[in-house]
Chains A and B, each alone.
Chain A
Amino acid sequence: MAFYRPAPWQKPLSVALLIAALALPTLLTAIGQEFYVGFATRVLIFALAATSLNLVLGFGGMVSLGHAAFLGAGAYVAAICQQAGINEALLAFPAAMGVAGLFALLVGAISLRTRGVYFIMITLAFAQMAYYLFVSARAWGGDDGLPLTGKMAFAGIGLGGDTPLYYLALGCLALVMLLFGRLADARFGRTLQAIRENETRMEALGYAVFRYRLAAFALGGALAGLAGALLANLTGLASPNLLQWTQSGTLLVMVIIGGVGYLYGGVVGALILLVLEEFLVGLTPHWHIALGVLLLGVVLFAPKGVAALFGKRHG
């Protein structure tokens, strides 16, 4: 895989996308389709979650099949915070990131000692353990999950209605994309991608490979936790299903469709998958099959993901 380097058109395009996203709720309201603001928020949140996996998978070369555990953990932390009387996102969201990040640090510290299929299985095993933990936790709703009493507040301003949460999700995604783009082109990203390409060579250059992998894994977990906290606010529920391996699979599919190792791979993949799903569900009860066929098409015609069609990455 090639190394990431920012393309010259990337900055203007990002700014244009941001402006379009800022205008979207107003636009939807103008044409009487406010209903889609919630859907757009969902896309933003999953874009964030898939991007966090892309950091781990695409840039770090770590095929984790347990990434949803960190998404779910973030959602539960938000719900538990609210239950404990902390309704402020400025407190609950960092807590969600911290808990998910620490959890990822623990999972990574153990699973990153293995490689290949063992790594995949261990990350999966940890996620399933976390899933059963939440399913059996009566205080947190067991398999019904833990509902929120309403949307939280951000800096004292309530997130009720669809639009405030949309803007909060957009702000989070924009900040994360900015950070992601910077770190990918900084020493850390360079190191991480070189380890993905040739771990042994990096050891032979004096790099303590494990540390960089672990840092990326934990950072990916923390960002997934942020997405989870947002998602709990959107759906009003922290559900154990969020930690299921199928959810991890969905995130993987998003990254693969969008483009593994491409900065915008997670965003593009989340957008495509969720839009297709929304569209196909309305069209046919067999939407799963239709979706499968479309995915097959992506794999056949854009094997590097859709983001790869837009820009050639240079060395």
Chain B
Amino acid sequence: MVEGLLEVRGLCRRFGAIEALKDIDFSVDTGEVHALIGPNGAGKTTFIHHVSGALQPDAGSVRFAGQDVTTFGMHRRVAAGMARSYQITNIFLGLDALDNVALAVQGRPDAGSSFRFWRPVRSETALFDEARSYLEQLGLGSKATTLAGNLSHGEQRALELAMALATRPRLLLLDEPMAGTGPEESARMVELIEHLARHVTILLVEHDMDAVFRLADRISVLVNGQLICTGTPEAVRNDAAVRRAYLGDHL
């Protein structure tokens, strides 16, 4: 079997008495949109934290792009090509939208060192031109000079995504990108992710089942820290255990 872009093996994690992740085997293949669903508190965000390197597992391994990254901190995984967006919007509210994305571009190894002490960062047109292109890609072109704190919730979600893209990832980890957005913004976000999926592999955690079934090539279901099923949307929809444990009458 060809190794997937992301290969998680035997991942375990406890928080005190809570077994948040139990022996998870999971993979994401290059080019796919792999959705991870499950009820609140199932451990989805915790799982994303372990993939991104924000948390270290008690046991198990994470391989990315053919490399064992289990001991890598977050910034090294980003440099290796992983990027994430946060469930709770996590941007620099005191900077404008363009500055936020420029900061993301600047962090990339190929954008040069950040140990530059003299030249005003705003005079670095290459940085800002590229940042602008990501804003435009996400429909935020007209908001470049708006303080991130003054953007609407949906715009902040989009900005979050623009920052993740600016790191030029091979794998995008999206933790509930639609969280808290209205129906119109959600629809836009679905379109956006569909568009992004043509260029980048995506691991998507999402509650909105319409979005999940529309976007995902494969779906995995996490319940109580256990992966109970992985398969095509069709297979997951018809899986008896999934229906019992989670989806109920959503379908």
What is the interface of chain A, defined by CB distance below 8 A to chain B?
Answer: 1-3, 179, 182-183, 185-191, 194, 197-198, 200-209, 212, 215, 315
Contact of B117 among A182, A201, A202, A207 (CB under 8 A): A182
Which chain B residues border A207 with CB–CB below 8 Å?
A: 75, 107, 114
Which chain B residues border A198 with CB–CB below 8 Å?
A: 90, 92
Which chain A residues border B94 with CB–CB below 8 Å?
A: 1-3, 197, 315
- State the Cβ distance, A45 to closest chain B Cβ, in Å: 23
A-B contacts, 9 listed (Cβ < 8 Å): A182-B117, A186-B118, A187-B124, A188-B116, A191-B114, A200-B74, A206-B109, A207-B107, A315-B95
Q: Are A208 and B75 in contact (CB under 8 A)?
A: yes
Q: Are A186 and B117 in contact (CB under 8 A)?
A: yes
Q: Are B121 and A205 in contact (CB under 8 A)?
A: no
B 31-64 binary contact with A (CB < 8 Å = 1; else 0): 0000000000000000000001010000000000
- State the Cβ distance, A211 to closest chain B Cβ, in Å: 8
Q: Are A203 and B121 in contact (CB under 8 A)?
A: no
Given the interface contacts A1-B94, A187-B106, A197-B92, does A204 sit within 8 Å of B114 by beta carbon?
A: no
Q: Are A203 and B92 in contact (CB under 8 A)?
A: no
Q: Secondary structure of the A side of the interface?
A: helix
- State the Cβ distance, A101 to closest chain B Cβ, in Å: 15
Q: Are A206 and B167 in contact (CB under 8 A)?
A: yes
Q: Are B121 and A190 in contact (CB under 8 A)?
A: yes
Given the interface contacts A3-B94, A191-B106, A315-B96, does A204 sit within 8 Å of B117 by beta carbon?
A: no
Q: Are A183 and B118 in contact (CB under 8 A)?
A: yes
Given the interface contacts A2-B94, A204-B52, A212-B114, does A186 sit within 8 Å of B120 by beta carbon?
A: yes
Which chain A residues border B73 with CB–CB below 8 Å?
A: 203
- State the Cβ distance, B149 to closest chain A Cβ, in Å: 8
- State the Cβ distance, B121 to closest chain A Cβ, in Å: 5
B 159-192 binary contact with A (CB < 8 Å = 1; else 0): 0000100010000000000000000000000000
- State the Cβ distance, A83 to closest chain B Cβ, in Å: 34
Residue B212 at the chain A interface, CB threshold 8 Å? no
Q: Which of B73, B113, B114 has the most CB of A within 10 A?
A: B114
Complex CA–CA separation, A207 to B121 (angstroms): 16
Which chain A residues border B115 with CB–CB below 8 Å?
A: 187-188, 212, 215
Complex CA–CA separation, A185 to B122 (angstroms): 8
- State the Cβ distance, A56 to closest chain B Cβ, in Å: 15
Residue B119 at the chain A interface, CB threshold 8 Å? yes
Complex CA–CA separation, A179 to B117 (angstroms): 8
Q: Are A186 and B75 in contact (CB under 8 A)?
A: no
Q: Are B104 and A205 in contact (CB under 8 A)?
A: yes
Residue B218 at the chain A interface, CB threshold 8 Å? no
Contact of B121 among A186, A197, A208, A315 (CB under 8 A): A186
Contact of B118 among A182, A191, A215 (CB under 8 A): A182
Q: Are B91 and A200 in contact (CB under 8 A)?
A: no
Which chain B residues border A194 with CB–CB below 8 Å?
A: 92, 95, 103
Residue B78 at the chain A interface, CB threshold 8 Å? yes
Contact of A206 among B99, B107, B121 (CB under 8 A): B107
Q: Which residue of A lies closest to B108 (CB)?
A: A206
Residue B84 at the chain A interface, CB threshold 8 Å? yes
Complex CA–CA separation, A208 to B52 (angstroms): 15
Q: Are B116 and A200 in contact (CB under 8 A)?
A: no
Which chain A residues border B121 with CB–CB below 8 Å?
A: 185-187, 189-190
Residue B79 at the chain A interface, CB threshold 8 Å? yes
Complex CA–CA separation, A202 to B240 (angstroms): 42
Q: Are B109 and A315 in contact (CB under 8 A)?
A: no
Q: Are B106 and A190 in contact (CB under 8 A)?
A: yes
Q: Are B75 and A185 in contact (CB under 8 A)?
A: no
Residue B147 at the chain A interface, CB threshold 8 Å? yes
Q: Which residue of B lies closest to A1 (CB)?
A: B94
Which chain B residues border A205 with CB–CB below 8 Å?
A: 78, 103-104, 107, 163, 167
